[in-house]
């Protein structure tokens, strides 16, 4: 299954050229994200290509990035300060004919003001959900008389307010004879909750503490409830008749529900001489950042959110393109309808359109620069997304130190980092995503998982009974086991094109009377990845994946210059290989995939993840067995994740769980690249000693009250 690129478009577009369309100032850079004007123009050109009166539901409008063969010469010319080639500006437009399941992909040529291609997509392909739709599904479902009749059986307290989390339906390949069950049409599964009945006027009451056993399914074309599932609330798959709801206490995360600590003193990060980074626009909607020899372009789109392009250090190219390509979150409860719960938050929703408007002093501390983006609404009009990326510096402890014990002289350099952070809210859950750069040439991709567990009801009588599929986090509330998989797409350009991916293993030498008589020797073997495929870590071999440029040699030791990737180990997807979870999450089984670059292969779970059936995505591309020559064009997909066995401490909101992927220079420089970072001094950073103030600070009393003297320096 896949996008039927070769099939003739069922409803051919009428390209209207420049007919009536206002031509806006073109951004000058081919990597500049679409402007608001370009978004409107893209949708207008598509609309004009159809008969008058046709109605549309736009799903996404994004820059169609130029082919690598066109863009590389452009970037090279840009770096060399030479004349820039001309590259046509294109957009990808994904839309439905309104109130139908007719999904279309159009390519709009913004340079020529034409729709250059338009295709009706094949079966089993469904576009992402959007906010309007999710709100509408919730409304429709709650107003449905059938749903209301089921809810009535719960005999909820007077004034109860219902809330629903509509979920992407997922796939199981199952169609029932009576037609009640199917997964080929675009439908949504609603998980039903209510607000705290004692506080139902509070719109931010945590409804996840009040899950209800009713789960209606809504058709997104007809916007009607097609089925009402009742979920199992015991230890097995048996579904019981609905019974009157039994009271449980609330469990709120909003601060006014708590007596807040008063002993956490303010901590400020101050840069009296300003920040060390500089920002300028490389395009109307694109920022170029320069900091401590790093130089990179930041883009933003509806699907991936923050994307980095053309990342260089000290004038040497490192990465052509970097982004989180997708995530998959399969749940482990095998019971209907939970067995279909698997979110692809980028493909099903979109990291750009779900990005938070970040707030000074809350999401970001210190001296902050904010970037904004623009995405598309259902009418094809631009939606401005302010402050979706924050940029700031942070101190991160010591970077290097040595004390010569003979002279007692210490040399110390602190680790300064530049952080580009974006935060997604995907219904119940949040992801805090950041690219972090340091002064030693390291780049880190950091994920913090937080937000609220997607909960489900469990019999109150089972509150203290271990559950096979989750953790009871509140009376009557089960948080199901689930896995989080992330796929970071890395398109490298270390010292230019012609890169290779290798892995190095540390292996013991055999005992040998001459060379290894004491059995302590070991060496390192290098294995170049010469064919596309999936590859695994092996901690017994200390396996390290590296990107190298075989044509660029270290001036001192002659090694191919490289970057190593600290790939965090993870538990591969537990759903079996025949399951739809496994088939769809094309990246959740291997730590590293390496593919031969092809334009347009950007998303590890395929272009359309909503109710996808597998067969498209990085596993499929890797399985082509493409040759990866020594000086080839590999793309590295780094997978990592968390098996989230919920703790009760993760409720009602979860303290973040952090994972990092670190890229470190490996024989790329000729020595420690941070030798020229000035030592940190007390004069410059104004650190303060507390010892004098703490003296006489007596903490009497067995309950440990802090005396006033201790609170101030």
Which parts of 107-166 interact with its own copies (CB under 8 A)? 131, 135, 163
| CB 430 to its own copies: min, Å | 5
Q: Between 182 and 369, whose beta carbon lies closer to its own copies? A: 369
By CB under 8 A, which span of 83-91, 140-148, 580-588, 629-637 interacts with its own copies? Answer: 580-588
Looking at 111, 410, 531, 625, which residue binds its own copies (CB under 8 A)? 410
User: Looking at beta carbons only, is 319 or 669 nearer to its own copies?
Assistant: 669
Among 152, 180, 559, 599, the residue binding its own copies under the rule CB under 8 A is: 559
Structure tokens at 458: 């469990």
**Max CA-CA distance within the chain?**
87
Exposure letters 508-517 (e unless 16+ CB within 10 A, then b): eeeeeeeeee
Burial readout 320-341 (b: 16 or more C-beta within 10 A, e: otherwise): bbbbbbbbbbbbbbebbbbbbb
Considering the rule CB under 8 A, would residue 442 count as an interface residue with its own copies? Answer: yes
Choose, by CB under 8 A, the member of 8, 53, 179, 261 that binds its own copies.
261
Q: Which stretch binds its own copies (CB under 8 A): 143-151, 491-499, 539-547, 630-638?
A: 539-547
Specify the residue for token string 């796939």: 171
As measured in angstroms, the least distance from the Cβ of 489 to its own copies is 23
Contact by Cβ (8 Å): 66, 74: yes
Asked if 373 contacts 385 with a C-beta cutoff of 8 angstroms, the reply is: yes
Closest CB 462 distance from its own copies, rounded Å: 10
Among 66, 330, 614, 634, binds its own copies (CB under 8 A): 330
User: Can you tell me which of 95, 300, 580, 637 binds its own copies, judged by CB under 8 A?
Assistant: 580
Residue 355 lies near its own copies (rule: CB under 8 A): no
| 337 upstream amide cis, omega within 30 of 0 | yes
Which residue, 17 or 519, has its beta carbon nearer to its own copies?
A: 519
Sign of the Cα torsion 243, 246, 251, 257 reads: positive
- Minimum CB separation of residue 99 from its own copies in Å reads 24
* Comparison of 121 and 283: residue with beta carbon closer to its own copies: 283
Residue 505's DSSP bridge partners are 525
- Binding residues with its own copies: total (CB under 8 A): 204
Q: How far is the CB of 63 from its own copies (least distance, A)?
A: 23
Q: In the set 6, 145, 241, 515, which binds its own copies (CB under 8 A)?
A: 515
Q: Which of 305, 296, 316 is CA-nearest to residue 352? A: 305
Q: Which of residues 32-61 bind its own copies (CB under 8 A)?
A: none
Which of 109, 393, 491, 633 lies at the binding interface for its own copies (CB under 8 A)? 393
Choosing from 333, 459, 495, 601, the residue that interacts with its own copies (CB under 8 A) is: 333
Cβ of residue 434: shortest distance to its own copies, in angstroms?
Answer: 8
| 429 has catalytic annotation | yes
- CB count within 10 Å of CB 524 equals 11
Among 46, 90, 322, 473, binds its own copies (CB under 8 A): 473
Catalytic residue among 74, 429, 445, 608, which? 429
Q: Which stretch binds its own copies (CB under 8 A): 121-129, 239-247, 425-433, 484-492?
A: 425-433
Catalytic residue among 345, 442, 495, 633: 345
Residue window 195-234: x/- pattern of binding to its own copies, with contact defined by CB under 8 A: --------xx------------------------------
Strand order in the sheet with 429-438: 382-404, 409-426, 429-438, 443-451, 654-666, 560-566, 544-553, 500-508, 522-528
Contacts (CB under 8 A) with its own copies, residues 266-285: 266-276, 278-280
Nearer to its own copies, 149 or 412 (CB): 412
Contacts of 76 (CB under 8 A, 6+ apart): none
Determine if 466 is a binding residue for its own copies (CB under 8 A). Answer: yes
Element (H, E) at 70: helix 68-80
Instruction: Write down the least CB distance from residue 78 to its own copies, Å.
Output: 9
Distance between CA atoms of 75 and 491, rounded to whole angstroms? Answer: 15
Strand partners of residue 592: 535, 638
Q: In what order do the strands lie in the sheet with 90-97?
A: 56-64, 90-97, 103-109, 114-120
- Which structure tokens are listed for 84? 């820039």
Indicate whether 101 belongs to the interface with its own copies (CB under 8 A): no
Of the residues 91, 544, 595, 609, which one makes contact with its own copies according to CB under 8 A: 544
Q: Which is nearer to its own copies, 69 or 682 (CB)?
A: 682
Q: Is 689 in the site for its own copies (CB under 8 A)?
A: yes
Question: Which parts of 601-660 interact with its own copies (CB under 8 A)?
Answer: 643, 645, 647-656
Q: Alpha carbon of 9 to those of 13, 64, 118, 231: distances in Å?
A: 8, 19, 7, 42
| Least gap, CB of 158 to its own copies (angstroms) | 22
HSE toward the beta carbon, residue 121, CA cutoff 13 A: 22
Task: Let me know: does 60 contact 128? Beta carbons within 8 Å.
Answer: yes
Tell me the closest approach of the beta carbon of residue 41 to its own copies, in angstroms. Answer: 26
**CA–CA distance, 307 with 321 (Å, rounded to integer):** 7
Whether the Cβ atoms of residue 115 and residue 98 lie closer than 8 Å to each other: no
CB of 149 to its own copies, least distance (A): 25
Catalytic residue at 345? yes
Q: Which helix (H) or strand (E) element contains residue 76?
A: helix 68-80
Q: CA end-to-end span of the chain, whole Å?
A: 67
* Closest of 45, 50, 55 to residue 22, by C-alpha: 45
User: Is residue 551 a contact residue for its own copies (CB under 8 A)?
Assistant: no
- Contact range with its own copies by CB under 8 A, out of 33-41, 121-129, 298-306, 472-480: 472-480
379 belongs to the binding site for its own copies (CB under 8 A): no
Long-range pairs of 520-526 with CB within 8 A, sequence gap ≥ 24: 526/502
Out of 215, 323, 415, 549, the residue judged to bind its own copies by CB under 8 A: 415
The nearest distance, CB 577 to its own copies, in angstroms, is 8
Q: Among 96-104, 487-495, 521-529, 624-632, which window interacts with its own copies (CB under 8 A)? A: 521-529
Distance CA 289, CA 539 (A): 36
Q: Is 351 in the site for its own copies (CB under 8 A)?
A: no
Catalytic residues: 345, 429
């Amino acid at each position: 299954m896949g996008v039927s690129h070769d099939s003739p478009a069922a409803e051919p577009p009428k390209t209207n050229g420049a007919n009536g369309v206002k031509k806006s100032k073109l951004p000058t850079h081919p990597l500049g994200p679409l402007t608001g004007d370009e978004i409107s123009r893209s949708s207008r050109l598509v609309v004009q290509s159809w008969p008058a009166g046709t109605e549309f539901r736009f799903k996404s409008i994004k820059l169609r990035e130029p082919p690598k063969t066109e863009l590389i010469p452009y970037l090279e010319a840009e770096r060399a300060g030479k004349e820039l080639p001309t590259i046509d500006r294109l957009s990808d437009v994904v839309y439905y004919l309104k109130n139908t399941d007719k999904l279309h992909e159009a390519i709009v040529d913004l340079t020529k003001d034409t729709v250059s291609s338009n295709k009706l997509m094949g079966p089993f392909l469904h576009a992402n959900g959007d906010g309007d739709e999710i709100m509408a599904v919730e409304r429709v479902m709650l107003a449905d008389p059938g749903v209301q009749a089921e809810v009535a059986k719960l005999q909820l307290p007077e004034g109860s307010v219902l809330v629903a989390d509509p979920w992407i339906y997922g796939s199981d390949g199952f169609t029932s004879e009576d037609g009640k069950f199917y997964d080929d049409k675009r439908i949504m599964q609603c998980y039903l909750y209510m607000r705290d009945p004692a506080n139902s006027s509070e719109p931010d009451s945590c409804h996840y503490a009040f899950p209800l056993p009713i789960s209606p399914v809504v058709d997104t074309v007809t916007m009607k409830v097609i089925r009402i599932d009742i979920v199992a609330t015991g230890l097995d798959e048996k579904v019981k008749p609905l019974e009157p709801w039994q009271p449980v206490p609330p469990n709120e995360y909003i601060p006014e529900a708590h007596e807040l600590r008063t002993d956490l003193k303010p901590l400020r990060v101050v840069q009296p001489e300003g920040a060390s980074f500089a920002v300028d626009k490389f395009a109307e909607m694109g920022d170029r950042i320069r900091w401590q020899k790093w130089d990179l372009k930041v883009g933003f789109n509806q699907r991936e959110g923050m994307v980095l392009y053309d990342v260089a250090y000290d004038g040497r190219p490192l990465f052509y393109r970097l982004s989180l390509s997708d995530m998959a979150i399969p749940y482990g409860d095998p019971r209907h309808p939970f067995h279909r719960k698997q979110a692809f938050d980028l493909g099903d929703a979109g990291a750009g359109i779900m990005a938070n408007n970040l707030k000074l002093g809350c999401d970001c501390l210190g001296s902050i620069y904010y970037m904004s983006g623009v995405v598309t609404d259902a009418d094809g009009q631009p939606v401005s997304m302010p402050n979706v990326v924050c940029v700031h510096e942070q101190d991160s402890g010591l970077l290097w130190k040595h004390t010569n014990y003979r002279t007692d002289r210490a040399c110390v350099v602190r680790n300064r980092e530049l952080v580009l952070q974006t935060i997604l809210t995907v219904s119940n859950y949040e992801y805090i995503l950041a690219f972090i750069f340091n002064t030693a040439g390291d780049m880190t991709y950091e994920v913090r998982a937080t937000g609220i567990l997607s909960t489900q009801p469990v019999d109150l009588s089972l509150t203290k009974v271990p559950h096979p599929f989750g953790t009871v986090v509140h009376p009557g509330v089960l948080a199901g086991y689930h896995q989080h998989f992330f796929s970071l797409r890395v398109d490298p350009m270390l010292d230019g094109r012609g890169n290779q991916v290798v892995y190095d293993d540390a292996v013991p030498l055999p005992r040998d009377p001459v060379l290894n008589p004491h059995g302590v020797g070991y060496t390192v073997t290098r294995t170049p990845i010469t064919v596309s495929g999936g590859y695994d870590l092996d901690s017994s071999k200390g396996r390290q994946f590296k990107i190298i440029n075989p044509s660029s040699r270290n001036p001192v030791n002659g090694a191919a210059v490289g970057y190593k990737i600290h790939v965090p180990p993870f538990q591969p997807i537990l759903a079996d290989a025949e399951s739809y979870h496994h088939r769809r999450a094309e990246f959740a089984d291997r730590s590293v995939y390496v593919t031969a670059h092809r334009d347009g292969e950007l998303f590890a779970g395929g272009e359309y993840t909503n109710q996808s059936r597998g067969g498209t995505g990085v596993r499929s591309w890797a399985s082509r067995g493409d040759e990866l020559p020594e000086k080839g064009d590999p793309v590295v997909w780094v997978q990592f994740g968390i098996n989230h066995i919920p703790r009760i401490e993760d409720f009602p909101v979860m303290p973040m769980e952090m994972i990092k992927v670190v890229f470190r220079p490996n024989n790329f420089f000729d020595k420690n690249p941070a030798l020229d970072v000035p030592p940190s001094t007390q004069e410059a950073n104004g650190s303060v000693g507390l010892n004098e103030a703490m003296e006489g600070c007596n903490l009497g009393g067995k309950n440990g009250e802090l005396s006033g003297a201790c609170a101030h320096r």
